[in-house]
Amino acid sequence: MRYRPDTMIAPPPPPPIANRLTQADLHDARRRLLDMHFHARAGHLGGNLSCIDALMVAHHEFLGADDRFVLSKGHSAGALYVTLASLGHIAHEELASFHQDNTRLGGHPPPHGIAHIKFATGSLGHGLSLAAGLALAARLQNNPRRIICLTSDGEWQEGSTWEAAIFAAHQRLHNLTILVDHNGLQGFGTTHDVASMNPLADKLRGFDIEFRNADGHSLDSLRTALAPGTDRPVLASLRTTKGHGVPGLAGTLQSHYLPLTPAQHAAAIAELGMLP
Amino acid sequence: MRDALCAELVARAADPSLVFLTGDLGFMALEPLQTALGPRFINCGVAEQNMVSVAAALASEGLQTWTYTIAPFCYARAFEQIRNDICLHNLPVKLLANGGGYGYGVMGPTHHALEDYGVLLTLPGMHVLVPAFTQDIAATIARAAITAAPTYIRLGRGELPKGQTAPAYAPWRCLLPGYQGAAITTGPIAGVVWDEFLTLDPANRPSLWLVSELPITANPPPGALIAALAANPALLVIEEHVSHGGLGAMICAYLVHNAIPIARYQHLFARGYPTGTYGSQNFLRDHAGLSRVDMHAAVRAIGGGI
């Protein structure tokens, strides 16, 4: 007898949004992220700034205590640490240890020691499989928990990510939401110039998943993107800007690796101060 | 060993935590397990990297997770997933790997696993089980099931010599007595060594030891083996694996660390594909330094023979 994956558990009803964020909350997180990276002289800032809004909305408004999150784009660990600090899971004071010797907060999420980080990531192409496994485990254990996974857009050049997408779609893992931080830039060029899959949406629509497009820097758009799905995985492509909010750095390749200069840091903080 | 493996896991299928993932292998072998497990038997398709990461996640949620594919598609294809997703998190995934060594014979080198346990034992917390005989499977599966660490199970085809009875499973077993030092082997080739050593008088052969759990640091040699080496410091190691990182290297490091002297040492290991041609497992062994002639020569070199 052959067993086809099915939807043995009815999808949970959309939970009420209990902890609604304000734009000020997002600004505060962004300010903390800028300060943390600047003082640590850490790079990889651009991809952190492109996804921190999504991380904040996912964690504050959608993920419950028993839900799971996998940061497949592990180089955005800073944005995750700041988000967890905003929830009280990491002390704000500890953020000062980011990227320093003897820290728990390395450049990529650690395997142990932080309760809300389940997996060490950083090598791209692992997180979606891990998230799919968590979603499958929830189904097998009859648990209605939800799993959200954030991938980068360059990460879809990894074959293992496509293995995971095939698996998640075939298994109809309706409790899985996949976010793509579609900022269009990778380590050494644009995703279009390096190994184009643009428009990525057209490739992903071929899977039996629910596809959504969203503005990755808009509260309302992110809320729509993150709403639970129905009977299949949800994939939300988030239009974002690498280095978002840093004058002169936003949308540039430099934002991938280079740390902030004092002038860039000051300009970014000043711009945040002017925003509503 | 595959049928025994299937039967053993079917017997455990009532455990609701048991989940079995296959990389599209098991045709005409694992169907009873598929029926017994129902939705807990998952064919992940030809996608071993994904399968291993999914397994890590399942294990992280407390499920007893087994993966199954042929050995090279496990340790080589999915090495980073084993390293990052299983071992960094010390998750007790059980990696079933069929066809260790030259097990897939004429299918060719892409299907062989000559470096598997050497490579995997570089990873933190990894345990390796190498059953030698079909009769070892029940104990091997029982051991893997309760091991709270990543475990790789190197399977093959049992080659018990005619007329012999497989000794009850133990991490170390003495297969034959002998008085010319000691010989140590692992996996199904033990049956061939055993069969060949039976042609030698005990006075002129080393005692023959079989180890089935690695690394040696977690499963040190028994006192009787160390005593045999103290009485006659001659050692022969035979393995269907490359030299680098293999059983010979592990044994030698153990002996040096423990100040146990060896005067004469021989190591028979898989030397790849010297002929450049394909053939059965036995053909490949014979031409890669693991023939019965090689075994006799090695015994003579450490002081025995005839």
CB of B13 less than 8 A from some CB of A: no
User: By the 8 A CB rule, do B62 and B16 touch?
Assistant: no
pLDDT at position A9 is: 45
What's the predicted TM-score (pTM) here?
0.95
* Helix or strand run (H / E) with residue B230: helix B223-231
Q: What is the mean pLDDT of residues A117-125?
A: 97
The count of CB pairs under 8 A between chains A and B is 97
Alpha-carbon span A62 to A150, nearest angstrom: 14
Q: Which residue of A has its CA nearest to B86?
A: A119
Q: Which residue of B has its CA nearest to A165?
A: B50
pLDDT at position A5 is: 46
Q: Which residue of A has its CA nearest to B56?
A: A130
| Chain A residue numbers touching B26 (CB-CB < 8 A) | none
Residues of chain B where predicted confidence (pLDDT) is lower than 50: none
pLDDT at position B306 is: 59
- Give residue-wise pLDDT tens across range B13-27: 999 999 999 999 999
Q: Hey, is B16 helix, strand or coil? A: coil
Contact (CB<8Å) B84/A123: yes
- Interface predicted TM-score (ipTM) over 0.90: yes
Contact (CB<8Å) A126/B39: no
**Of residues A120, A140, A171, nearest to B19 (C-beta):** A140
CB of A199 less than 8 A from some CB of B: no
**Of residues A3, A126, A138, nearest to B81 (C-beta):** A126
Tokens of A210: 């629910």
- Give residue-wise pLDDT tens across range A21-62: 999 999 999 999 999 999 999 988 999 999 999 999 999 999
Alpha-carbon span A120 to A196, nearest angstrom: 28
Alpha-carbon span B150 to B90, nearest angstrom: 6
User: By the 8 A CB rule, do A71 and A130 touch?
Assistant: no
CB of B34 less than 8 A from some CB of A: yes
Give all strands of the β-sheet with A176-182 in edge-to-edge order.
A68-71, A147-152, A176-182, A234-239, A210-215
- Chain B, window 121-180: residues with a beta carbon less than 8 angstroms from a chain A beta carbon: none
Alpha-carbon span A250 to A264, nearest angstrom: 10
| Chain B residue numbers touching A130 (CB-CB < 8 A) | 53-54, 56-57, 85
